Structure 1
Amino acid sequence: MPPEFTLRPATQADCDAVRALVFSVLADYALQVDPETTDADLFDLEGHYAKRGGCFDVVTNTEGRVIGSVGLQPQEPGICELRKMYLHPQYRGLGIGKALLQHALSRATALGFSEVRLETAAVLKEAVRMYEKAGFQRYEPEHCAARCDAAYRLRL
């Protein structure tokens, strides 16, 4: 992570800021917000992540503003889902996204997961490129979230 940014575990106090970040990025790409199902985790970060054996982390700038996020949510034994990996548009192209992804993969290994899965929308071209460059392979899950049209997995 570049030195002017801080990566730390999220707390319940971060929920509003994380929702604002995620919802604004979704709006930028004309993707639907779904607070009842797909995005319900953003109202209880600790309950949906850390208390289930995963983690949710945020990136903050020098003013302490949340500018990035990433979560690892346990799905089944040995498998977690990479969720809510978003970065404020102003901070893209600085290596923060790549550092955030590498951090998430290291955390997944440390938490004992052997596979990381994710669902995304093809319109998020930069993210898809980053995932593929990191070694994620496309696969067909049983179902995807309504706004997602692609799924990837990476064996650790």
Structure 2
Amino acid sequence: MQNNPSISLVIRKATNDDGPNIRALIFTILDEYDMEPAPKTTDRDLSDIEGYYADGIFDVLETTDGVIIGTVALELLGNGVCELRKMYLKSNFRGRGYGRKLLNHAIARAKELGFKRIELQTARVLEEAVGLYQKHGFQPSDTIGLERRCDQALALDL
């Protein structure tokens, strides 16, 4: 399906002021898939976005009137490797190319920042996301440790 030309979206760097809206978006999406938010572990990064991602990125996709509809982040892991994190898209914007836009943005930014590999953790229940990662060349990896709500790891060599 094509992007709706009447909707104008921008990708911009997230700030800590965006935190409440980002947490609401992500936790709502997790709830959609019967996945539990983990603010003290997996989601602790959302309490200080600017600090946690100082060596990476945390960007939001938003409408021109400032409504955040998607997120994507890259966390520095070291040795030229980053982790793709927090890639979420509001349900009524899925299937319209915006997830692909976020992923392409993250891959381009990873290359700009000099990363050689992107790793990620995901859950099979997130079928659309898993399919998108695979279409972009991400391959299964058994060298990545998994967070509690994830059941598979994927990686892409840049």
Shorter-chain TM-score range? over 0.9
Counterpart residue number, 1:131: 133
In structure 1, the partner of 2:21 is 17
**Match in the other structure for 2:38:** 34
Match of residue 54, structure 1, among 56, 66, 79 = 56
Hey, what does 1:68 align to over in structure 2? 70
Structure 1 distance, partners of 2:153, 2:86, is 14
TM-score normalized with structure 2 length: 0.94
1:45 is the counterpart of 2:49: yes
Alignment size in residue pairs: 154
Q: 1:63 to 1:142 in 2, by over 3 A?
A: closer
Instruction: Name the residue aligned to 1:108.
Output: 110
1:94 deviates by 1.3
Rounded to whole Å, the distance in 2 between the matches of 1:93 and 1:4 is 16
Structure 1 length-normalised TM: 0.95
Q: Secondary structure at the match of 1:131?
A: helix
Contact 2:118 2:157 in 1 (8 A): yes
Partner residue of 2:81 out of 72, 79, 86: 79
Q: Give structure 1 regions of 4+ aligned residues with deviation exceeding 3 angstroms.
A: none
- In percent, how many aligned pairs have the same letter? 47
Amino acid at match of 1:6: V
**Cα deviations across residues 59-117 of structure 1 (Å, max 9, x unaligned)?**
11132111000000001220000000000001111111001100000000000100000
Matched to 2:84, the amino acid is: L
Residue 119 of structure 1, aligned match among 111, 118, 121: 121
Deviations 1:105-137 (A, max 9, x none): 000000010000000000000000000000000
Residue aligning to 1:154: 156
Alignment of 1:78-97 (within 5 A): 78-97=80-99
C-alpha RMSD over aligned residues: 1.2
Stretches of structure 2 lacking an aligned partner (at least 5 in a row): none
Distance 2:80 2:64 in 1: 36
